[in-house]
Amino acid sequence: MHRTFMDDELTHYTIPDSASKIKNLITGFSNDYSSVVDDMDYESGLVTVLAKIMSTDEIFHFANKTDAYIDENLTSDISVTVTGMIIVIRDMVIIQYRFFINSDRINRFNIF
């Protein structure tokens, strides 16, 4: 959002360094703060990401990169929960894979 407001300049592909600059971006983006900031003390918020249609491999790559970024760049006093369809799809694939592996083990056991 910051980059968009600053004529798409790469140097502004950052989160502003002050609460007032962030507030200016939010007010320029929407008159309804509730969709972006959970409370007016700016202690919690919501980040929405739109993605193109992705393959399963791309979904895993995106989810893993997101988790790695959070682990490497955010301090422990910041709580982040990643949700959405990409995470649901990733988790469903993992569940199906585990089910397949377990059912294959059961089938091999029943053969003997």
Dist CA 25 CA 8 (whole Å): 14
Q: Where are the domains of the chain?
A: 1-48, 52-112
Helices (H), 1-112: 2-5, 19-29, 56-73, 85-111
Tens of pLDDT, residues 17-58: 777 777 776 666 555 555 555 556 667 777 777 777 889 999
Question: Is the entire prediction scored with pTM above 0.75?
Answer: no
Q: For residue 19, which amino acid is it? A: A
Dist CA 99 CA 104 (whole Å): 8
Dist CA 86 CA 62 (whole Å): 8
What pLDDT does 26 receive? 67
Q: CB burial class (10 A; 0-12, 13-18, 19+) of residue 52? A: exposed
What pLDDT does 65 receive? 92
